[in-house]
Amino acid sequence: MTQQIRSTTRPKQKRSSTQIRAWVNLLFFIIMVLVLAPQATGIPIHEWISFVVIIPLFIHLIMDWKWIVNITKRLFKKVPADARFNYVLDWLLFFLFVVATFTGVLISEAALPALGITMVIDPFWSSLHDMSANLMTIVIGVHLAMHWKWIVTNFNKYVLRRPARSAQVQGGH
């Protein structure tokens, strides 16, 4: 009887790093959409989810750490222009993320007061927060556009579970 049960259960498949990256990036994207739309979620949810988004950000950075180190070492040597642009864009995105997060904490209306911390909201920090968040939205759009082929391919393969179409079918030949 035990032998029969074992033969009917499916063996666990090992997840590839690309599959994990696809799911982490999808989670990261969904959370970022929620964070960048405080009008849709309301300020309390916006603020709390802004703390949560740090987790997939760090996972994203850790999973791409080899690429970051490799490009950093070769940045002033022979590096393809698109990789150099992507590297600079990613640092800009990281900088905007840090500024938006830091200023968001300084202007917190819900999360910090819920923790018993009250601060006077300075209009300078509010405007810097809005500006960095708006710029971050634009830079995220460029970042997504640069990686669109990877996104579509891996979303289809790992999230929707559709096999990639062959080059012949894609080319229309």
The whole-angstrom separation of Cα 96 and Cα 52 is: 17
Most confident of 1-5, 71-75, 91-95: 91-95
For position 126, what pLDDT does the model report? 95
pLDDT at 85 over 90: yes
Residue that wins the pLDDT comparison between 163 and 75: 75
24 contacts: CB under 8 Å, gap ≥ 6: 56, 59, 60, 63
- Every domain of the chain and the residues it spans: 17-160
pTM: 0.77
For position 169, what pLDDT does the model report? 45
- Condensed to tens digits (0 to 9), the pLDDT of residues 104-148 reads 999 999 999 999 998 889 999 999 999 999 999 999 999 999 999
Rounded mean pLDDT of 95-107?
A: 95
